[in-house]
Amino acid sequence: MDSEETVSGSWLALLLLGAQLTVVGPAAPSSLRDDPWQVYSSAQDPEGRCTCTVVAPQQNMCNRDSRSRQLRHLLDKVQNLSSSIAALDLRTHSELQFVEQMETQLKSVETRFQQVQEGRESNSARQYKWMREKMAELRPLIPVLESYRADAALVRKFKEEALNVSEELASLQEHVHDLSDVHERVQDLELRLKACMNRLACGKLTGISDPVTMKTSGSRFGSWMTDPMAPPGDTRVWYMDGYHNNRFVREYPSLGDFMSSENFTSHRLPHPWSGTGQVVYNGSLFFNKFQSHTIIKFDLKAGVISRSRTLDFAGYNNMYHYSWGGHSDIDLMADEGGLWAIYATHQNAGNIIISQLDPESLSILRSWVTDHPKRSAGESFMICGTLYVTNGYSGGTKVYYAYSTNSSTYEYMDIPLVNKYSHLSMLDYNPRDRALYAWNNGHQVLYNVTLYHIIQ
């Protein structure tokens, strides 16, 4: 479909959950010329959706052309909106599976309880203990369950509204003067959908899956990543072996290529990097220039430095590294909220400072001062504006400290992280995949994370 064409010269298909609206053209019968829009047919498709075909007029009068373009734009918008809702629906659906598993657990507790009450179990003391433990495990999930129910209702409501808008679009030919009204409603819908998605997307880390090894390559230390802001279809993997004095970045076309081949393009950076804290964000590589506290933004497409800025007072050259060393003084990362730098300063006694950076200018938007010594942190990563810190890089590892930039408070936690190859030199969250990317002793591994909504 050529996006430059007006409605009258192309096919448009609009799929909107409950309804399907198809605009076809140009209209063949000349009798339609007087009638700007014609509802051609209405039927049910195999999935039970209502299918509606609108015949667009074939003419090139200026006012109609502009109206066509306007409608076309609107249709695009609703189509975008509907695919967002579909994605949201899918996510809610998969998360609801967790909830269902919990309900199964609750039911099994209930059954046990009945068995004990009916005196079928001889050792009831043990049974009671088992139930108490299970109930203690499940209690924190009750507010989560309630939140999911509220979210599901929200998604349902959006579906209804979107359906309504699509119906209005379908009846557009009768009252074209309502176009701006519909336009407003679409915009409103879009805003509310975004707010809803943000709410569903963000949450508190409650679990990390077992690791999956994607590849075994390179030295003990390094970093690898994908761009969370990449447009759909751009699945490139970026790979940086080593923690110092290297300046070659590998680009693999996809995760599949990364796993199965050594087929890559190499980018030579104007300066070597320090540490493993690089991040690829919105088409640029952000890295810490070797032996400095300079952050460089390197445009990967143009192959040039587009910005560079010193991170004032930040320690470098192994002054405030993570516990594994490796010049890991400055760690750059991205989450749902943007770009971040994690580092430490002498002024803050070597404790971690979190700075949100403007990805355009690299200037610091805001900083948070923690009381966690950087050198005793294993690694750290940011999810939904909260920094999670691990207790070490070798042996049994867990996430044990979290600092929320939202509330400027910290808490201790205990989330196990399986450290399969015993030497973690990079750990970063990717908000697009909702996964942790790690470099573990020459193995490139991924973890899934479980996030629960923050209950207000």
Ligand X SMILES: *[C@@H]1O[C@H](CO)[C@@H](O)[C@H](O)[C@H]1NC(C)=O
**Near ligand X by CB under 6 A: residue from 76, 100, 234, 371:** 76
- If one asks whether residue 80 binds ligand X (CB under 6 A), the answer comes out as yes
**Near ligand X by CB under 6 A: residue from 7, 56, 155, 202:** 202
DSSP for 46-98, written as a single string: TTS-EEEEEEPP----HHHHHHHHHHHHHHHHHHHHHHHHHHHHHHHHHHHHH
**266, 248 Cβ separation under 8 angstroms:** yes
- If one asks whether residue 310 binds ligand X (CB under 6 A), the answer comes out as no
- If one asks whether residue 207 binds ligand X (CB under 6 A), the answer comes out as no
- If one asks whether residue 73 binds ligand X (CB under 6 A), the answer comes out as yes
According to DSSP, residue 282 is labeled T
Closest CA to 105 of 134, 125, 81: 134
Element (H, E) at 212: strand 212-216
Tokens standing for residue 187: 């915009």
Length of the chain: 456
- If one asks whether residue 101 binds ligand X (CB under 6 A), the answer comes out as no
Provide, rounded to whole angstroms, the least separation between the CB of residue 180 and ligand X: 15
- Residue closer to ligand X by CB (options 149, 175) is 175
Provide, rounded to whole angstroms, the least separation between the CB of residue 32 and ligand X: 26
**Near ligand X by CB under 6 A: residue from 350, 359, 373, 442:** 359
- Residue closer to ligand X by CB (options 27, 295) is 295
Size of the site for ligand X (CB under 6 A): 22
Spatial distance between the Cα atoms of 351 and 331, rounded to a whole number of angstroms? 14
Cross-strand partners of 251: 238, 265
Tokens standing for residue 6: 């007006």
- If one asks whether residue 212 binds ligand X (CB under 6 A), the answer comes out as yes
Helical axes 179-201 vs 141-170, angle rounded to 10°: 160
Provide, rounded to whole angstroms, the least separation between the CB of residue 24 and ligand X: 20
- Could you say which residues in the range 390-409 bind ligand X, by CB under 6 A? 406
- Between the CA of residue 113 and those of 16, 109, 117, 163, 340, what are the distances in Å? 46, 6, 6, 45, 49
- If one asks whether residue 221 binds ligand X (CB under 6 A), the answer comes out as no
- If one asks whether residue 93 binds ligand X (CB under 6 A), the answer comes out as no
Provide, rounded to whole angstroms, the least separation between the CB of residue 64 and ligand X: 20
Provide, rounded to whole angstroms, the least separation between the CB of residue 125 and ligand X: 39
- Residue closer to ligand X by CB (options 259, 446) is 446
Phi, psi values for residue 347, rounded to 5°: -60, -35
- Residue closer to ligand X by CB (options 74, 330) is 74
- If one asks whether residue 152 binds ligand X (CB under 6 A), the answer comes out as no
Provide, rounded to whole angstroms, the least separation between the CB of residue 117 and ligand X: 39
Q: Does residue 353 sit in helix, strand or coil?
A: strand
**Residues of the shown chain interacting with ligand X in the complex, contacts defined by CB under 6 A:** 73, 76-77, 80, 160-161, 164, 202, 209, 212, 253, 261, 263, 282, 359, 384-385, 406, 446-448, 454
